Amino acid sequence: MTSVKDNPNCDLCKIPVTKNKIQCNQCSIYFHASCVDVSNSQCKNLNKPGFDKWYCKSCDQRQMGLASIEDKLTQLLENQGSIRSDINHINQQMQMLDSKVNEVVKKLDIKI
């Protein structure tokens, strides 16, 4: 009964993986190809060295999550740029208003 150690348990069905073994490239957890919707021929290709990398569902989601965070960061940086130009625009308008107010104050001064 030592053979159990040689065959890692599939992370989904918890049964030792003997045939059609597939390993996540990220977390190194083993699965049955059938448990993760990978065809037998695909599985053979994935087990050849130098072939496509395969990621389990949670690692795949983590990677997608990272990608969406990167997207949001670039969006934020772009927004920051446009907010800066908005602030510049507002500052210019404030200065114009300021000088107008000064003008009005001067005129009022004269009248008084």
Q: Which residues bind Zn ion (CB under 5 A)?
A: 10, 12-13, 24, 26-27, 32, 35, 56, 59
Which C-beta is closer to Zn ion: that of 10 or that of 43?
A: 10
Nearer to Zn ion, 51 or 79 (CB): 51
Q: In whole angstroms, how close is the CB of 18 to Zn ion at the nearest point?
A: 11
Q: What is the DSSP string of 21-52?
A: EEE-TTT--EEEGGGGT--HHHHHHHHSTTS-
Within 8 A by CB and 6+ apart from 78, the residues are none
Nearer to Zn ion, 25 or 79 (CB): 25
